[in-house]
Every structure is written in C-alpha cells, then in structure tokens.
Structure 1
Amino acid sequence: MSVSDSTNVGQLAGDEARGDLPAPTATQRMRYSFKISLREPTTLVGILTALLFTYLILVPIISMLMDAGRVQFGDERRIGMDMGQLTLYYLNRTFLSPISSDLFWQPLFNTLSVSAGAITVSVFIGSILAWLVSRTNLLGRRWFATALIVPYMLPAWTFALAWTTLFKNRTVGGQPGWLEGMGFTPPDWLAYGQVPITIILALHYTPFIILLFGSALRRFDSQLEDSARILGAKPRQVAWQIILPLMRPALISAIVLIFAKCLGEFGVAYVLGLPVKFDVLATSLYRNIASRQTGVAAVVAGSIMLIGMISLLIDAYLVKEARRFVTIGSKGSMNRLTDLGKYKLLASGFAGLIFLLSVGMPILTLALSTLMKVPGQFNFSNFTLDYWIGTNLDTVALRTGILLTPDLWNAAWNTLWIVGLASLTSGVLGLLVGYVVVRTPVRPLSIFLRQITFLPYLVPGIAFAAAYLSLFAVQRGPIPALYGTVFILILALIADQMPYASRAGISAMMQLGKEPEEAAQIAGAGWLRRMMTVVIPIQKGSLVTGVLLPFISGIKGLSLFVILAVPSTDVLTTYSLRLVDYHYTQAANAVVLIVAGLAYFGTLAAQKLTKTNLAEGLGG
C-alpha cells in the first residue's frame, strides 16, 4: 500500500469517527480490499498462472470430454449428422453396441481382474516384507530397506520385456524366448496375458506396500502388543485385533494407489497382452486412437479418468480418516524389534528371493539377452557385443549396434532436452504456485491454484495424453496444431508433472517466513528482484526437488509419450517400444537397460542432492 493510500484511509477513518461520513458497507470494504490486492504483484502472478494452468490442464480435459458428445471428422456419413453436432452415438457405441464388449466392457473386466490380482499378491508379499524390514532384526535389514523398493525406481515395462525374453513362444514370431530355445515351449497363458501382467505389476508395486505399510508399522508402539500379551492375548489376536485396525488406513491407502496406477498402466499390458489380444482400458484407448476412432477414444479416456479420480478421492478421504486411528505416545513409546531367532536366515532368504525375482533376474536377463546371438544358448561362442557396437549386422533395418545407431542418440537427446526443459519449467512454476498459494491475500485464488495443479494426479497418464491430443491435434484460434511437434510433449509434461512440482513449492514456501522479503522490500527491492535474490536462493533445495522428481518420472514415462510422440520426436521409451514392434529384441532390451539405468541412478542422485531417503516414504 502506498503512502497516499495510507493517508486516504486515515482521513476516511477520521471522518467516519467524527460522523462526517457513513460507515462503509461490507461490499465497499470487499471492493476496496480487492482493489488493494490487485496492486500486489503476487496477485497478478497468481491470476496469470491460474489462466495458464486452466488452459494447460482444465481445457484439454474439457475438450476431450466434449469430443465424446460431438460428431467427429470422418464419422458424418456413418452417423448421418454434420461434424460438430451433438450426438450420443459414441456413448452408445462404447457402452451398448454389439462391439461394446470389445471396446469397453471386456477391457474393463481385464483391468479390474489384473488390478485385483496385483493388489492381492503385492499386499501378501509387501506386508510380510514391511514387517520384516520395519519390526524385526532381519539380516541385512538396512540394505533390504532400500533394495526392496528398487522395482519402483525402474520402468514397469522393463520387467515385461525381461518376461518375454524368458517365456516368449512362437505365437508372435520373431526370435524364440530362452525357454523355447532350450527345448521347452511355454503355454500362451504363461507367456502372455493376465498371469504375467498380474505378476509383473504385483512385483512392481509391492514397494507401495513396503513404504506405506512399513512407515505405519515403524510408528506403532510396541507397548500395545506387550499389554495385550500380558492380558493373555494370543499372537493371532494381537495381529487381528490390535495391529491390523491401526494399520488399516495405511494399507487401504496403498491398495487404492496401486489400483490407480494399474488403471493407467500401458507398457506392461501392451508388451504382454497384445500378442493374445488381451486388452485393458489403457490398450483399448491406444487402439482407438491408432484407428482414428476419436469419439470412442474420448469416451474410454473419460471413463479411465473418472475411475482414477474416484479411486484417488477415496484415498484422500482415507488419509483424512486415518487421523482417527492414532495412538497417543510420549517419550515412553517404543518401537522394539522382534527377534526372529531360528527363522532369521529363512526370513532373509525370502527377502533376498523377492529382490532376485523383482530386480536381479529381470536386469540380468535383459543384460545377457543383448549379448546372445541365439536366445537361451549359454556357450561362450554364442556371446557377442555386436548388438551394442557391431557393424554390418544381418538385420533388415538395424544394421549397426545400438550404440552406433543415430536413432538412439536422437531419442536420447530428445529425452534429455524435452524432459529436462519441461522439468525445469515445472519446477519454476511450482515454486511460483507455492509462493502465490502461501502469500496471496485472495483466498479463492490460492484454493483454485492448489486444486488445479493437483488435477493431473487424478488423471491416468494415457487419458491425459488423449486429452492433449484432443485439444492440440488441430488448429484452434491463434494456436496452431501441435501434434507431431516437440511443443505438445513439453506442454503435456509440464502439466502432468505439476502435482509434484507445486506440492514441493507449496511445502517450501510454508516454511519461509515473510521477514527476508520484507527486509529486501524496505531496502527498495522490487518483486522480481526479491524473487531472484531472496526467495529462489533460499528455496534452491526445494526448487531442485521440484525439477528432479519430474525429470526422473519423465525419463521412464511411457503412457504420455506413446500417444503424443511421432518417429521424429521419439524419446528413449517410445524408441524402445518401436524396436519391440519390429522384433529387434536385443536392441530393444539394450535401450530399456539404458532407461532403467538413467531412472535408477537419477533417483539415487536426487536422494543425495535433496538429502531424502525413498526407503522412508514416497516423498513427492
């Protein structure tokens, strides 16, 4: 507020006190407060960012939903209506027509059945491992606390490609799998479809149970168990009547998150389901987009989005309800480790076996497969480096080793600069959002920014990609068609990663008092200078977090890119999937190893730089 504003307010207050002027009404006070708040740069920045995210997040989703109810280009003759007219045709075709089973209901059933199986297996294995790591004297306990969550650091379809390398049969042609190369032909149900997809997703998402359930177990007071045992309770009664009720919110939250992740998972279902036409909702959506069934794709994407929103809103409700399930402790509360006694080696062996199945075997399988001329033959003469650095190979298109292929380096360069630029932008925008949410005097603006930047978290990645395709596939006003360019990838990545970046920014700004800024303001620094010389230097750690988390996620992401990328804008994930389609197994596996290495070591570097530990929680 300026000096003249202060003088005017003082004069008005004096006149009002003498009775010369009537007291201002509530509307006048509100109007005056709004006028003053508009003079604050924070409010202006908030309005601009709110408009930006409305266009980048809300408008694509609305555009996609509108496509479900309007006649699309190419369907005019079939529907008997002009393009753009309102219609229920796509809803009827997706939900009620003779082919609705193939389009929606069977993929929905497959999605639910795979999710239920993955949740059941991951809860069973993860609960045991969480208890062993959190509450026992497990041999190598500290090492296992980090090692068992490595599957979450790696792309899920890494394990799918390892599975096909081992179990692939002649159903889809190409090179045989290892088992077939050794004389045993795996049946289709083991090589493809529901069983391998369920097993892989279960192993990939078991870390969710270990992290969330294990965190709750670490906070559990051991004295409650002791009291129950003193009163005569048996171990089973202690587990079911004391521990489980207190752990239920964390366990259910992990289950809901796993379901939401399975709902949008594309890569695993694409690699293992496509050969036997086992469609889930994500692959059904991809098929419809690939066949230019835009209206049906919009209905399927909207359904995925709705189910994802409902599941994550349930999780938010359960997190709030979890406050009812608390124990009141003090300095006397204990987290005593249980002595496994003679079962110590057995328990460590079980944990080691899970690590071997979920990390060791897949990575080793992929690595060895890139060195074998003939799959499944382990004699020394069968090993070669040709698929990495060879020349004049006897393949149709890929004539050199993957490291000598220009397409790999183009994809790697695209990955680094596209994901890097998007992550840097989302990190800066996340800090700005945090600044506005915490500092602006306009509460509705603060609430809107908080909610709009969290919205992409409720939408599975493949549905969000479909929304972007709906908005940017054609020219709209002054915005040209962006499909096929890097701009649509950058914009989609920025919007998709805002939940992580904005939460990092909000958390950081809530911990920063106003005093440093006020001191700079008194010294004559303007808003931009205060941001560049005070806020950003102080919050550089949070800014790094807001950049690194989206970067790592973007490096291993597939669902967003598979819809929006074209060969000229290939990134490493889409390039590897293209090699899978061409049955260049060794080359595809080599690229996946590169992606897995970037994701894993990037996560470790992020933990070092941000001084966090993924083993102690999911973080951002």
Structure 2
Amino acid sequence: MIGWTKAALPCKRELQLSLREPATLIGLVLLVTFSYLILAPVISILLDSVKVNFGDSHRIGTDQGSFTLYYFQRVFSSPISQRLFWQPLLNTLSVALAAMSIAMVVGGVMAWLLSRTNLWGRGWFATALIVPFMLPTWTFALAWTTLFKNRSMGGQPGWLESMGYSSPDWLAYGPVPMVIIMALHYIPLVILLFGNALRRLDCQLEDSARILGAGRATVAFRIVLPLMRPALMSAMVLILADALGEFAVPYILGLPVQYDTLSTSLFRAISSRQTGVASVLAGAIMVLGCITLTIDLYLMREARRFVTLGGKGAMDRRRPLGVWRLPATLLATALFLVSVALPLLTLFLSTVMHTPGRFRLDNFTLDYWIGTNLTTIALKNGILFTPEFWSATWNSLRIVGTASICAGLLGLLVGYVVTRTPWRWLAACLRQLTFMPYLVPGIAFAAAILSLFAVQRGPVPALYGTSLILMLALIADQMPFASRAGISAMTQLGKEPEEAAQIAGATWWRRMVSIIVPIQKGALVVGIVLPFISGIKGVSLFIILAVPATEVLTTYSLRLVDYNYTQAANAVVLMIALLAWGGTILTQKLTKTGLAQGLES
C-alpha cells in the first residue's frame, strides 16, 4: 500500500502540473466543443436511423422513439429500395468512376507535359489549368445547360435550340454531361498531385535505365509508374471520395430527367420529411466516404516506401518534345478553352442577352444586371437592383466570413494544443476529431447537423432557420483545413519565445497576442481565407440548412435556376466565382505562393 501511494504521488503531481498548463485546459475545452459540433451530429443522425421518428409510429406500429430497423429495410430491401438506394448508388459510382478515369488520363498527360517537358507557355498553363478547381462545379453545369438545354424541360431554350439545333436528352441532361463536367473539375487536382510527384522523381533513374538499354516503354512501366503509384492512387481515391458527395451537378443536370445519385436521393428524402430514410442514406454516404479516405491514408503511409534521392539539378531536367511541341501546346490550349474560357464566356454572354443564342446587336442588354421593371414575374429588376441579391450577398459574407474567422482562430488553437500539451491522447483526439468532417461528404454532414439542431436538446434551443446553425456547420465542416494549417504552423515554432516571455512574467493571453499570433499570422490568414473560399462557393450545407431568411448566394442562384431565370442565375454565379477568385488571389498574395508553385520555374 505504501509503495502504491508513493507511486501515485508523482502521477497526481504530474496531473496537477498538466492542468495548470493553459494548453491542456484549452485542449479539454476544444475537445468538448468539437465533440458536440462534429461527433454529436454524426451520432444523432445514426440514432435517427434506428428509432421511430415523428409521424411514422402509426405506419411502423410502434411508439415514437422506440428501436426499429424499418428504415434500413425500406432503404435496402423494400419494393422502392431500387429507386431509393440501389439505382442512385449505381449512378453515383458510375459517374464518379467515369469522371475519375477521364480526369486521371487527361490530368496525367498534362501533369507530365507541364513538369517534365519544354511545353510552350508551361508557366502560364501551370496556373491557368488550375482555375477550374477554384470555381464551383455548378458554374460549368449552368454553362452546359445554357448551351445544350432543349425544349423537353420547359423554360428558356439553350443556345443550340435557339439556333435551330435541338440537343438530344442524353447530351442536355443526365450522366454524360455530369461525367464531363466533373472530369473537367478534377483534372486540376490530378495535375497538382501527379505533377508534384513527377517533379520529385530523380531523372537520373530514367537516364540510368536508358544507358542500360531500356526502351521508353520499359522506363515508363518499370520505373516511372511504380514510383508514381502512390500519387496516382491518392488522386484517384480523393476524386472518388469527393465525387460520391457531389450535389450541385446532379441537382442541375440529373434531377430534370430523374437521374438520381445518392446525394440527390438524400435531398429528396429530407425535402419530403422522411427523416429516418434520410438518416440511413446519410449513413451510407458517410461509410463510402470513410472507406475511400481510409484507403487514401493507407496509401499515404505506403508512399514512404517510394522515396528517391537525387540532386535538384538532375530532378529538374525537362525533355524536349521536338515535333510534338506544337500539338502538345494546342492540347493544353484546347483544355483551357473548354474548361475555363468557354464556360465563363458562355455564362457572361448569357447574362447580356434577351433571347439565348441570338447574336444580334438589338438582342444584347444589361437588364439582368441593372434593369428595372422587367416583365418576369419573380424578378422585377436586374440582380444589382434586387434587394434579395444584396441580402443573399450580405448573408454570404456575414455567415461565411464569421465562420471562417472562427475556424481560423480555432485551428490555430488546435495547433497550439497539439504541440504544447503533455497529454498525448488529448493531442491525438483533437487531430482525429477535427479531421473527421473531411471523411463525411458535405450533404451527409448537413443532414447530421440538421438532425442534431432541428429540435431543442436540453439547454440548447432549436437552431434550424437561424444564421447560427449555418455558422456552426461551416466551422465544423472547415476544421480539417483550419486545424491542419494551425498544426503545421505550430509544429515549426519552437517553445523558446513563449518560454522566454513566461519567465519575464507575461500571462498566457499576453503571450498569445504578442508572440504566437504575430509570428503565425500567415498560417492564421490561410486558416481563414481557405475556409472562406470553400464556404462562399459551397452548396451542400446551405441547400439543407438555409431558409429564406438566411438565404445565401448559392441557394439564391439555385432558386433562380428552379424558376428558369437562367440569365439572372448565371449573373449570380459569376459574382460567386469572382468572390472565390478574389479570395484565392488574396491567399496567394499573403502567402507568397502560386496556384501551382514549382511548375512555373
């Protein structure tokens, strides 16, 4: 007993010292906060899938709140399960796999041209070809409908229809345009991931193989591709994980022809107040997202086995294209025109035309921007003179801006705790918990937030319909980016400056304000601006959680799409793209980095 008591005393003293450390106390507060904001919504929606929800007790034959597997049976094995889950699952996987395959082939070729050849204008293309990844995916979806929309859907016709060429349904809507648009959106991701890996590959390995008599095919398939396998697999898995939760493109191009994916099927269930069914669908999407990103984490660990060493000069050598230099440059130009210039030009021109596709001087107008007393029923003025537009803009800047600032500050605090607390389990829990939203597709996480905050739970009132629920959802959703920025920055900052100030008598608050924040202002800015860019163009959270009183630019533009006010909707989308582009440029200026840093050299 005496020995046990003596052994316990150091542990007790260590516990007391740890609790006096501000990092530990802050970490415990953050752990409780993120458990409620991130873990509790996920648990809540999973519980909703196994208990009788409001309004279903008579149909199920049991009391509300009791345990049931009815919703699982309805989703997976009922007569409507084919339309509710299995067909949307098949559609989701087919679209995601097709888009991923196209993106990998085209992006892989472009990454090789930009990083390993003497392509004309490679520095300019390295930046220009990344632009589609910065823009909302539904920017291209709206541009597609502007061009190819036919009369079968009603409303204003597309440009080709106005010119006398009727687009077939398979080209105007459904899986074909969805695959093309999503592939164009993901090509920049492949360029970045694969291009960076290619730049790290030592050219001396290829030179040595050629000296030994290996041909180009042997070098490519026996040396380059095996070493590039982690980067290629990581790009494939990340694209697949993101595509599984994509909502905006299926909403615009799939719903008009009843081509449902898992995300739109979930949206239909929530819209029709089938809470239990929506919970099961959200859980299924979460499981798929967790599986794909778990595979990516495994591949990242495996990547450590593929390490090459070499001098910088040898690694940076570029191959001459010879007679293929002009065709390769034309290929890069064509990709830029299709993925950037044509969509944005189409959207802009559509906003200054009365009749789509009629290129006559008397058809051009600024009515949809600054017009007044228009003949349309629900849009009497151009968007710049419409109070709803400015209200949505203010809501977007207020909600997204506040959430981004909070996310950036919380991310820096997470980094501080992870690097300063002596409790390793606390640091590990915060790392994993703040990364969790990245494992859950946005549409499923929005459903989880709605499940938790739709009704009053204890002292926390019902928040649905308020700006606060959107802010909390955005803070939680953006914590993977903000926390990683904070952890990365604090890892590079030693304890010496803070310890010196502590010896001089500075309080913790003084040390944070005068030392930590000024030194880490770059990381703090990144932790704020990146969530702002992502939030300002986001759809999944807002489409589920926003109401007319808290409407933002994304939901306002989609409402105009539903009303078939194409020109006005496209004008709003251009304003969103401008805000996203401005945020990206601001990030580059503040961090002094480029979109494709290293490819321009």
User: If the TM-score is normalised by the length of the shorter chain, which range does it land in?
Assistant: over 0.9
Listed one character per residue, the Cα deviations across residues 516-561 of structure 1 (whole Å, up to 9, x for unaligned) are 1111111111111111111111111111111011011101111111
Aligned to 1:534: 515
The amino acid that maps onto 1:391 is: T
Partner SS, residue 214 of structure 2: coil
Aligned to 2:70: 89
Residue pair 2:560, 2:568 contacting (<8 A) in 1 also: yes
Residue pair 1:211, 1:617 contacting (<8 A) in 2 also: no
Which of 544, 553, 557 aligns to 2:534? It is 553
Aligned to 1:384: 365
Aligned length: 598
Matched, 1:164 2:145: yes
Which deviates more, 234-243 or 582-591? 234-243
Aligned to 2:50: 69
Which of 211, 216, 229 aligns to 1:248? It is 229
Matched, 1:237 2:253: no
Listed one character per residue, the Cα deviations across residues 179-207 of structure 1 (whole Å, up to 9, x for unaligned) are 00101111110000000000000000001
> How much has 1:27 moved relative to structure 2?
3.9
> How much has 1:29 moved relative to structure 2?
2.7
Aligned to 2:493: 512
The amino acid that maps onto 1:214 is: G
> How much has 1:123 moved relative to structure 2?
0.7
Residue pair 1:457, 1:499 contacting (<8 A) in 2 also: yes
Instruction: Give the whole-Å Cα distance in 2 for the aligned partners of 1:360 and 1:249.
Output: 32
Instruction: Give the whole-Å Cα distance in 2 for the aligned partners of 1:25 and 1:339.
Output: 74
Aligned to 1:321: 302
Within 5 A, what are the aligned runs for 1:67-466?
Answer: 67-330=48-311, 333-466=314-447
> How much has 1:331 moved relative to structure 2?
5.8
- The structure whose Rg is larger is 1
Residue pair 2:251, 2:264 contacting (<8 A) in 1 also: yes
Instruction: Give the whole-Å Cα distance in 2 for the aligned partners of 1:96 and 1:334.
Output: 56
> How much has 1:616 moved relative to structure 2?
3.2
Partner SS, residue 171 of structure 1: helix
Aligned to 1:477: 458
The amino acid that maps onto 1:481 is: A
Residue pair 1:369, 1:589 contacting (<8 A) in 2 also: yes
Which deviates more, 518-527 or 144-153? 518-527
> How much has 1:610 moved relative to structure 2?
1.3
Listed one character per residue, the Cα deviations across residues 407-450 of structure 1 (whole Å, up to 9, x for unaligned) are 00000000001100000001111111110110001111111111
Residue pair 1:253, 1:318 contacting (<8 A) in 2 also: yes
Residue pair 1:504, 1:542 contacting (<8 A) in 2 also: yes
> How much has 1:32 moved relative to structure 2?
2.4
Instruction: Give the whole-Å Cα distance in 2 for the aligned partners of 1:27 and 1:420.
Output: 49
Instruction: Give the whole-Å Cα distance in 1 for the aligned partners of 2:359 and 2:49.
Output: 53
> How much has 1:233 moved relative to structure 2?
1.5
> How much has 1:28 moved relative to structure 2?
3.6
Partner SS, residue 474 of structure 1: coil
Instruction: Give the whole-Å Cα distance in 2 for the aligned partners of 1:495 and 1:195.
Output: 34
Residue pair 2:199, 2:315 contacting (<8 A) in 1 also: no
Listed one character per residue, the Cα deviations across residues 284-327 of structure 1 (whole Å, up to 9, x for unaligned) are 00000000000000000011011101101100110110111122
Q: TM-score, normalised by structure 2?
A: 0.98
Instruction: Give the whole-Å Cα distance in 2 for the aligned partners of 1:238 and 1:562.
Output: 49
Aligned to 1:503: 484
Partner SS, residue 151 of structure 2: coil
Partner SS, residue 549 of structure 2: helix
Counterparts in 2 of 1:253 and 1:331: CA distance versus 1, 3 Å: closer
**Structure 2: gaps of 5 or more residues:** none
> How much has 1:31 moved relative to structure 2?
2.7
Listed one character per residue, the Cα deviations across residues 451-491 of structure 1 (whole Å, up to 9, x for unaligned) are 11110011111110000000000111111110010000000
Partner SS, residue 105 of structure 2: helix
Residue pair 2:498, 2:515 contacting (<8 A) in 1 also: yes
The amino acid that maps onto 1:372 is: M
Instruction: Give the whole-Å Cα distance in 2 for the aligned partners of 1:558 and 1:286.
Output: 12
> How much has 1:144 moved relative to structure 2?
0.3
Aligned to 1:494: 475
> How much has 1:85 moved relative to structure 2?
0.4
Question: Percent identity, aligned pairs only?
Answer: 67
> How much has 1:30 moved relative to structure 2?
2.3
The amino acid that maps onto 2:198 is: L
Aligned to 1:45: 26
Residue pair 1:473, 1:483 contacting (<8 A) in 2 also: yes
Residue pair 1:211, 1:616 contacting (<8 A) in 2 also: no
**Structure 1: gaps of 5 or more residues:** 1-20
Aligned to 1:592: 573
> How much has 1:332 moved relative to structure 2?
6.5
Instruction: Give the whole-Å Cα distance in 2 for the aligned partners of 1:301 and 1:58.
Output: 14
Instruction: Give the whole-Å Cα distance in 1 for the aligned partners of 2:564 and 2:386.
Output: 17
Residue pair 1:286, 1:563 contacting (<8 A) in 2 also: yes
Partner SS, residue 615 of structure 1: coil
Listed one character per residue, the Cα deviations across residues 394-417 of structure 1 (whole Å, up to 9, x for unaligned) are 101101111100000000000001
Partner SS, residue 137 of structure 1: coil
